[in-house]
Amino acid sequence: MSIFRFGHAEYSINFFLASSLMFLSTCCCISAFASPYWTKRYQDTPKDFQNIGLWELCLYKYRHYKDDLQIPYTGCFWFWTNEMYRFRDWIIPSWFKWVQAFATLGLIFTIMTISSLIVAVFSSFRWQWRYQLLVCIMSFVICVLFAGEIQFLREYTEDYIDEMYHHKDFPYSLPNGSHLQLTEGHGRLSRSHL
């Protein structure tokens, strides 16, 4: 078995092969986690359903029977937006929520594993082994701060959108602004023009 040197450490070819496969699996896990193309519609099915991913649903002029407003939904929507709450339970059954949970855990564990591999490889010539725990803790803190920042920005944006749609000079009649968000840029008129 061949051995190669990297820094002050010696690694086997199996370690290099396993690290490469782990990096490839992390890339695949990230692309699957973010992709809205887990399922696409068949050619002979209605065109209102386009595709669905782990977190996103793409529709074309879809009207759901539980939607009191009967708004035609066109575009891609995150499952947890306000527009989807009327039929979220129909779109996301309980088994799909478990798939989301396990896919999230899989993504977290693959990122942790690839981070550990990176720390193990680069610590052999740059850091000492006792600093690995410190680097892992700092990585965790950075991830938590990043997630908190995203949550803070999302809440700020939602408040800003609510203020914008409740402004007296706003030309659209719906109080929650969901109709503008769904029709803007698609060449359709708002309810006030109908």
The pLDDT profile of the chain, 194 residues, written as one tens digit per residue, is 677 666 666 777 888 888 888 888 888 888 888 887 777 777 777 777 788 888 888 888 888 777 777 888 888 888 888 777 777 777 788 888 888 889 889 989 988 888 888 877 776 655 565 666 777 788 888 888 777 766 665 554 444 444 544 555 544 444 444 444 444 444 444 445 44
Q: What is the pLDDT of residue 185?
A: 45
Specify the pLDDT at position 177. 44
Q: What is the pLDDT of residue 17?
A: 85
Residue 152 has what pLDDT?
A: 67
Residue 175 lies in a domain: no
CA distances from 51 to 22, 75, 81 (A): 29, 10, 17
Q: Is residue 160 one of the residues assigned to a domain? A: yes
Q: Is the pTM of this model over 0.85?
A: no
Query: What's the structural domain count of the chain?
Result: 2
84/99 same-domain check: no
40 and 29 together in one domain: no
Are 62 and 29 within one domain? no
Residue 194 lies in a domain: no
* Contact by Cβ (8 Å): 151, 35: no
Secondary structure element (H or E) that encloses residue 122, with its range: helix 94-122
Range of the domain at 71: 36-91
| pLDDT at 6 (0 to 100) | 64
Alpha carbons 115 and 135: distance in angstroms, whole number = 10
pLDDT of residue 88: 78
